[in-house]
Chain A
């Protein structure tokens, strides 16, 4: 034997899972919902998605290569995922330059200036989205009509938008309900909204896949949705004239997309199950408070970002159970 052997400390065996596999699996989980969006909104959805994904990847590569002068990490799939999630959170008729600004903000400000993947405190795609919502409120809330709709209108309203507008003008719920989609349409995704948030059923399908692959835990989505349901349910029971039922709140808008794909982002969510429950409950409460009493019809993005900010605190306060009964 005169060959050199590798010497390294144990363990000598490693999982064949990798950061890249995790990212690509999340991308895969989002594909069914994306396909539905393309069917529903047409080629516009393809345009927005491609632009967001490619620009995020390109920004990450260019900034790491030429500005930060570090090894690029574009192949890990996280930039592509940020791009896809950003696309999912904007209207499919958004002008190209606004998308580019969103991508730049998400990658350069929310991710790389914090040190890149793993260093960021806030979910980059959501930071990008909220930045656009504040800077371009008109474009970000003008929703395209479905390709399949039999109407001459060029813009549609989201179910939550209809609700908010109606409630603000003081009309009773009964009068509005004719304009609101039913549960079946909400589930299938036959409603106005952001590019990827419309089909609850397909998003849940992807979520089951992620649960199975142990990429997300049940704690975050379940606690968010359950909290929202309880919150909305209380008001609905008290005054069904004014407040709509909890199922509507869960299925309309971005709750499913946010709960399964955005709030569960590993980097920005807490680590122990208990902390994840608290985090999810927090998101649920903030979301419903904004929806019922705030100025915006939708509040999931803000709620997740706020709770992202609490994640480091939750991580340091809630420790996993130690073996042997002593806790640090």
Chain B
């Protein structure tokens, strides 16, 4: 029996259209727009100004707090402005706009394609490198990696879990990365292990990616302490708590961090970025993005410079199909609908999914028939139908008791409701309200 997590979970159609498309590099765009806040935490502070010449890989915004991350230029050229530009949600955000001229890389970066597997740095030095390179969780969470690597006082890591689950439908960038860069990912894993001071790591991969499992198993062969764990397909296995449960059987309790059970979870994309940062001196300024959709001409996995307009990415994959009704940044379960495709690719952009008009709009909401599908689907063991009703009635204290803050916003509840009830919309609202309540109590 393959391992998986126990509670809840759903099986949305996988639609991994681009699973077999090799990663291709996107030609440079004429201009890029690089937001200074691409991570959870304080936005970085821009250190370049209008008119500056920058090289590919040069620092353009410095981390501005404990939880923050550096931002580097993904291209070489001239800074044309440092100003507010609308981000994916339509909100104005500070970013650096660069007119691309050639592709002149910073000399510090080792551009040779050879694998460098020898580790010469100490743990703290590795963390410092990761911090300099501006690496964040690349599965979409975008939490700065160097912050995660230092456990809170009194706590200790026991093992590292590498998240190669990619449970979101449609997305295949992690799958391709594992197939094409398996050795690099393993070196990245070793670096993370050294930084954490642990000698055990597990790479969790769902068994709908047999080639990735094969390649990764080959890559870890002969390396002590790292093993590949094939997992049974079930959404949301890529959730931190679900992955820890599936691989180790341990349950992170309500409100606690993974370190409370000795674990740290890192995405395969981040592990690859760690390899490049530490071994090749290359900051995080490009990533693999899946561009896909049922009507798209060429669903692909594309290596893209951060700051490239999403519209260029779509154009590369065949252009926006006539019937498109929605463009999602991320996967269809947890991704964000874009107001326009004139927004930049950022460190957390795992995919761009184009949804046909017919499936874009929601179905009209009906009364709850208490079928318990939402309850059975919830991986946190919550009662979404009840949380929605309480939220509609503004019963925030009750919601706190019902542990609404445990919701990981995976969308399994809304996905499975036959009455098309917008459960997660109301639960998200309740989480914000209850969060406020909890914070106000602390003051």
Contact = CB atoms under 8 A, between A and B. Distances in A.
B420 A117 contact: no
Given A322-B382, A328-B401, A12 B371 contact: no
Given A10-B424, A11-B424, A116-B367, A325 B253 contact: yes
A21 B357 CA distance: 23
A18 interface: yes
Given A117-B369, A119-B367, A266-B372, A12 B402 contact: no
Contact of B418 (A22, A324, A325): A22
B169 A13 contact: yes
A5 B326 contact: yes
A290 to B, nearest CB: 27
Contacts of B378: 320
A6 B358 CA distance: 11
Nearest to B353: A12
Nearest to B337: A7
Contact of B339 (A7, A21, A116, A271): A7
Given A1-B311, A9-B425, A118-B367, A14 B360 contact: no
Given A9-B424, A18-B420, A323 B370 contact: no
A7 B340 CA distance: 10
Contact of A13 (B12, B311, B330, B370): B12
Chain B residues touching A, majority SS: loop
A11 B418 contact: no
Interface in B326-369: 326-328, 330, 332-341, 353, 355, 357, 359-363, 366-369
Nearest to A215: B371
Contacts of A328: 401-403
A3 interface: yes
Contact of A11 (B311, B380, B411): B411
Interface string B407-422: 0010110111111100
B369 A266 contact: yes
Contacts of B380: 322-324
B369 A11 contact: no
A10 B424 CA distance: 8
Interface of A: 1, 3, 5-15, 17-19, 21-22, 73, 76, 115-119, 266-267, 269, 271-272, 319-326, 328
Contacts of A320: 375, 378, 381-383
14 contacts: A5-B325, A9-B424, A12-B335, A13-B169, A13-B333, A15-B418, A18-B418, A21-B418, A118-B366, A271-B370, A271-B372, A322-B254, A324-B241, A324-B380
A14 B325 contact: no
Q: Which of B169, B334, B372: most chain A CB closer than 10 A?
A: B372
Interface of B: 7, 12-13, 169, 241, 245, 251-254, 256, 311, 320, 324-328, 330, 332-341, 353, 355, 357, 359-363, 366-373, 375, 378-383, 401-403, 406, 409, 411-412, 414-420, 424-425, 428
Given A21-B418, A272-B372, 16 more contacts: A1-B341, A5-B327, A5-B339, A10-B334, A11-B334, A11-B414, A13-B12, A14-B363, A15-B416, A18-B418, A73-B366, A267-B370, A321-B381, A322-B380, A322-B382, A323-B381
Contacts of B416: 15, 17
A78 to B, nearest CB: 8
B341 A6 contact: no
A220 to B, nearest CB: 12
Contacts of A6: 325-326, 337, 357, 360-361
Given A13-B12, A322-B403, A19 B418 contact: yes
Contacts of A119: 367
B363 A5 contact: no
A212 to B, nearest CB: 16
B387 to A, nearest CB: 11
Contacts of B370: 118, 266-267, 269, 271
Contacts of B362: 8, 14
Given A5-B326, A326-B254, A76 B366 contact: yes
A9 B428 contact: yes
A14 B337 contact: no
A319 B3 CA distance: 26
Nearest to B401: A328
Contact of A272 (B339, B375, B411): B375
A1 B342 CA distance: 9
A115 B336 CA distance: 35
Nearest to A276: B372
B264 to A, nearest CB: 18
Contact of B367 (A22, A117, A269): A117
Contact of B420 (A5, A14, A118): A14
A20 to B, nearest CB: 8
Nearest to B380: A323
Contacts of A319: 383
Q: For A10, A266, A321, A323, which residue has the most chain B Cβ atoms within 10 angstroms? A: A323
A30 to B, nearest CB: 18
Q: Which 3 A-B pairs have CB atoms at the shortest separation, nearest pair first?
A: A11-B411, A118-B367, A324-B253
B338 A13 contact: no
B424 A19 contact: no
B424 A324 contact: no
B333 A11 contact: yes
B379 A323 contact: yes
A61 B380 CA distance: 40
Contacts of A19: 366, 369, 418-419
Nearest to B333: A11
A5 B367 contact: no
Contacts of A11: 332-334, 411-412, 414-415, 424
Nearest to B241: A323
Given A11-B333, A14-B363, A272-B375, A325 B424 contact: no
Contact of B415 (A14, A73, A115): A14
Contacts of A3: 324
Given A1-B341, A328-B403, A13 B415 contact: yes
Given A10-B334, A12-B355, A324 B415 contact: no
A10 B425 CA distance: 8
B407 to A, nearest CB: 10
Nearest to B414: A11
Contact of B375 (A8, A21, A115, A271): A271
A215 to B, nearest CB: 8
Nearest to A311: B370
A10 B335 contact: yes
A325 B341 CA distance: 43
B410 to A, nearest CB: 8
